[in-house]
Copies of this chain bind each other. A is one copy, B any other.
Amino acid sequence: MPDPRDFTPLISQRTRRGASDAIRDILAAAASPGVLSLAGGLPAAETFPRAAVRDAVDRTLSHSGTAALQYAPTEGVGRMRECAAELAGRSGAPTTAANVLITSGSQQGLSLVAGAFIEEDDVVALDDPSYLGAVQTFRAAGARLLPVPCDRDGMDTDVLEARLAAGVRCKLVYVVPHFHNPTGAMLSPARRRHLADLADRYGFLIVEDDPYADLAFDGIRHPSLELSHAGVIRLMSLSKTLCPGFRVAALVAPARLTAVLAGAKQHTDLQTNTFGQHVVAELLGTPGFLAPHLAGLRSFYRDRANRFAEVLAERTPWLEFEKPRGGLFVWCALAAPNADSARLARAALDAGVAVVPGAPFCVESDGTRRLRLSYAALTAERMRDAAGRLDIAYARTHLVPQG
């Protein structure tokens, strides 16, 4: 197709703002042959419930063949909305289908929330560091970010309160309360209560992005924020617990907000794919499927996390980290004073292992010495190889004097 014109002047500000992506190149390189990936993002394909999916697909084609191939309501297929309400209800919150909007992955939930509520220069508060996809989505929507420091108990809500009391008008607060990406933090019960209280006093909404709640290695189900509070929009991904390929996720919110977001979704893509919704609803509705599947998943990732912690301790003693309690990531610090994780990440790729440097996750905080590693994708043997390659890259960049 001929392509002589320069279209750059036609591109909107919004799109230019969202265009930069420091990690995209690394993830692309991570998929190259011969590269071992600790860069993460992909769940382990071994955990996909393939036989159960096949059964659910068969039943869908036999019993709902025509409906599964037709258009469906923007809000979602009825059965899928009910399934999602039931899942949300496991945390104790009384949820009905009217609270549920089925989205094309949780990323769409984020994007719909940003579009429906953020005007140019509206303030969005979030953990610093935060999930990169959220940072980029809110930035692209024109938000001013209010980075809030966090520790192993999550967002420091006292700092948030001080900023609010000083007059910062905040429209949204974004949190990943369980096994935070990238830090692995768990928002403490006291801070949850504090955050809900601040939302009431200052009139902001809370976006609770919760893809890892079911990956607690101790098997304990922690309560979600929505339990305690009306102004919470919860994003429930199934990508890490079932599989990502259907792009079926659920947004759970007060019914009035769900209706607003459904209106926005209609313009965006009319509806989430009908076939995937039928299959996922069939899968989740299979008696005796979910609980053992999740138990197996937790055990799988717990083993990988434990093994990975051993491998890192042995092969990369220059890395500081806390053993993960759930989720898919280890947030590491480089101990050396001259450490630079971006330089290390480039050298690591040359040595055949992909890792993600910390800086892109950080808004104001310093990520220069930080590294996010994922243990999701590699077997024990490959983990050892990957850590060995990382150690070689480290030796090249940090032990040898630089020219």
* Interfacial residues, chain A to chain B (CB-CB below 8 A): 1-5, 7, 10-15, 18-19, 21, 24, 41-43, 45, 48, 50, 53-54, 57, 61, 65-66, 68-72, 93-96, 99, 103-105, 107-108, 111, 115-119, 133, 136-137, 140, 171, 203, 205, 226, 230-231, 239, 243-248, 252, 254-257, 260, 263-264, 266-276, 279
Contacts and interface: CB of A to CB of B under 8 A. Distances in A.
A69 B45 contact: yes
Given A171-B10, A230-B3, A104 B273 contact: yes
* Central interface residue in A2, A4, A136, A270, by most chain B CB within 10 Å: A270
Contacts of A247: 104, 269-274
Give the 6 A-B CB pairs with smallest separation, nearest first: A245-B274, A69-B245, A69-B243, A247-B273, A3-B254, A108-B269
A268 B15 CA distance: 11
A143 to B, nearest CB: 11
A15 B260 contact: yes
B1 A115 contact: no
Contact of A71 (B50, B117, B244): B244
Nearest to A89: B1
A10 B205 contact: yes
Contacts of A115: 12, 14-15
A248 to B, nearest CB: 8
B15 A264 contact: yes
A275 B61 CA distance: 14
A227 to B, nearest CB: 9
